[in-house]
Amino acid sequence: MALPLLFAFLFSEASARTVPDQALVVNWNSFNALETVQPPSVTNVFLPPGFTEEQALAKPFHIYDDDFYDVIGPNPTLTVVASTGVDPIFHEAAVWYPPANEVFFVQNAGAKAAGTGLNKSNIIQKISLNQVAALSAERNASGLVDVITVNANPPIVNSNGATNYRGEIVFTSEGQGNSTAPGLWVMNPQEPYNTTVLVNNYFGRQFNSPNDVAVNPRNGDVYFTDSLYAYLQDFRPPPGLPTQVYRFNPSTGAVTAVADGFELPNGITFSPDGSYAYVTDTGAQLAFYGYNLSAPASIYRYTVEVDGTWSNRKLFSYTSPGIPDGVHCDTKGNVYSAVGDGVQVWNPSGTLLGKIFLGSVAANFRFAGKGRMVILAQTQLYYATLAAEGADPVNEF
């Protein structure tokens, strides 16, 4: 008697999930066999059959797998926090600074609409999450939030990625021209925003264009990708080193290369316990030089050995549309990446669970405490509430 009842109860629980107000369900079988399939092109969005773009934007949490209900919870929300029109000031390096409940981020360095790169550095800005969180019932709160410029001193030239580091924030700097060497800089997240160079060379050689940085939660080491985007945006000379991932040991100062074989390494993060590393390769996106659709738009996973070296490179996900830029995990080990239509979420086996669909490119994003996420979509800044919690270490190191 008891067993069948229990099964019936579990079964009805699983199948009777209510689709949240801001969510829609996509049946994968609905697009496996399409009437027409378009020839190769650089497309920006994939609309599931039966949905217009307006409908897909009105319900931006797209459920591709039942496990996405646990990621988004019963009442996820998405809010436009700020819009600029053309200047891509909401680009990368989103970092939550808990003591002030603020989120920092940087402008796209080198983008034509930003007017930055060879002659002018990009800027760092911040928002107050207290101010933003109070607006989560709005769909578009643009104009209601203060976006504050942070005058790093000395300036971090053409900053790109960033993460929490020993109570402060470590940024990658892509450098400028031949003489301003790129590297890693640390900034005090409070006035006077004083900065210090952490690393700016590999045995006296300039890095190419450090893109993103993550701290491994197990060993506390700082790992960063060195890509070529400053060169591909015409503000740095041709590469003097292969595109690689480096590891900086804060106790000894040692810098070592841990992975190569990339076209354009980009985002980097670790699983919650630090035992896996994820690196995105955005070789398909050549900035001022267009696209190469047969090059990677892929997330690779590595095992992080106990000694901090990497092994077992494997393809975790080939992403579509666009390229996977920023990448972060939640505390359950699910992997999130900013791609051509918003933020996509995979389980640890690389199955797409769902999307936070923006209908346009997201460059990066960051969890900012449990159930809160800030998404950088170049000319638009978004705030999402959901059930998941980010895995990036905030205070430990």
Ligand X SMILES: *[C@@H]1O[C@H](CO)[C@@H](O)[C@H](O)[C@H]1NC(C)=O
Instruction: In angstroms, give the least distance from the CB of 343 to ligand X.
Output: 15
Instruction: In angstroms, give the least distance from the CB of 275 to ligand X.
Output: 29
44 binds ligand X (CB under 6 A): no
Instruction: In angstroms, give the least distance from the CB of 159 to ligand X.
Output: 13
186 binds ligand X (CB under 6 A): yes
The nearer residue to ligand X, 91 or 353, going by C-beta atoms, is 91
Instruction: In angstroms, give the least distance from the CB of 31 to ligand X.
Output: 25
Total interface residues for ligand X by CB under 6 A: 25
Q: Determine which residue in the list 38, 178, 252, 395 makes contact with ligand X, applying CB under 6 A.
A: 178
Q: Do 240 and 212 contact (CB within 8 A), yes or no?
A: no
Q: Which residue, 384, 333, 380, is CA-closest to 72? A: 384
The span from the CA of 320 to the CA of 361, in Å, is 11
The nearer residue to ligand X, 31 or 291, going by C-beta atoms, is 291
Name the pairing type of β-strands 102-106 and 92-97. Answer: antiparallel
89 binds ligand X (CB under 6 A): no
290 binds ligand X (CB under 6 A): no
Q: Determine which residue in the list 107, 195, 225, 298 makes contact with ligand X, applying CB under 6 A.
A: 195
55 binds ligand X (CB under 6 A): no
292 binds ligand X (CB under 6 A): yes
Quick one: which H or E segment has residue 158? none
- Residue 190 to residues 93, 104, 168, 205: CA-CA distances in angstroms? 17, 11, 9, 32
| Amino acid type, 322 | G
Residue 10 phi/psi, 5-degree rounding, is -60, -40
The nearer residue to ligand X, 187 or 343, going by C-beta atoms, is 187
Please give the torsion angle defined by the CA atoms of residues 310, 315, 318 and 324, in that order, rounded to the nearest 10 degrees. Answer: 0
Which residue is listed with tokens 């700016």?
200
- CA 166, 280, 308, 243 dihedral sign is negative
Q: Do 328 and 266 contact (CB within 8 A), yes or no?
A: no
Within 134-153, the residues that bind ligand X by CB under 6 A are: 140, 142-143
Rounded to 5°, angle at Cα 374 from 368 and 377: 155
Alpha-helical regions (H) of the chain: 2-15, 53-58, 68-72, 129-133, 229-232
Q: Determine which residue in the list 26, 56, 78, 80 makes contact with ligand X, applying CB under 6 A.
A: 80
Q: Do 105 and 122 contact (CB within 8 A), yes or no?
A: no
- Number of CB atoms found within 10 A of residue 193's CB: 19
42 binds ligand X (CB under 6 A): no
| Amino acid type, 240 | G
Q: Determine which residue in the list 127, 150, 187, 362 makes contact with ligand X, applying CB under 6 A.
A: 187
Within 308-367, the residues that bind ligand X by CB under 6 A are: none
Q: Do 381 and 127 contact (CB within 8 A), yes or no?
A: yes
118 binds ligand X (CB under 6 A): yes
40 binds ligand X (CB under 6 A): no
Residue 252 phi/psi, 5-degree rounding, is -100, -20
Binding window for ligand X (CB under 6 A); candidates: 116-124, 150-158, 309-317, 386-394: 116-124
Q: Determine which residue in the list 131, 136, 188, 219 makes contact with ligand X, applying CB under 6 A.
A: 188
Within 363-382, the residues that bind ligand X by CB under 6 A are: 380
Instruction: In angstroms, give the least distance from the CB of 369 to ligand X.
Output: 23
Sheet holding 380-385, edge to edge: 77-83, 380-385, 372-377, 364-367
249 binds ligand X (CB under 6 A): no
The nearer residue to ligand X, 7 or 289, going by C-beta atoms, is 289
119 binds ligand X (CB under 6 A): yes
The nearer residue to ligand X, 237 or 261, going by C-beta atoms, is 237
**Structure tokens that stand for 69 in this block:** 């209900």
Q: Determine which residue in the list 48, 60, 76, 117 makes contact with ligand X, applying CB under 6 A.
A: 117
Binding window for ligand X (CB under 6 A); candidates: 95-103, 153-161, 191-199, 322-330: 191-199
Q: Which residues bind ligand X (CB under 6 A)?
A: 80, 83, 117-119, 140, 142-143, 168, 177-178, 186-188, 194-196, 236-237, 263, 283, 292, 294-295, 380
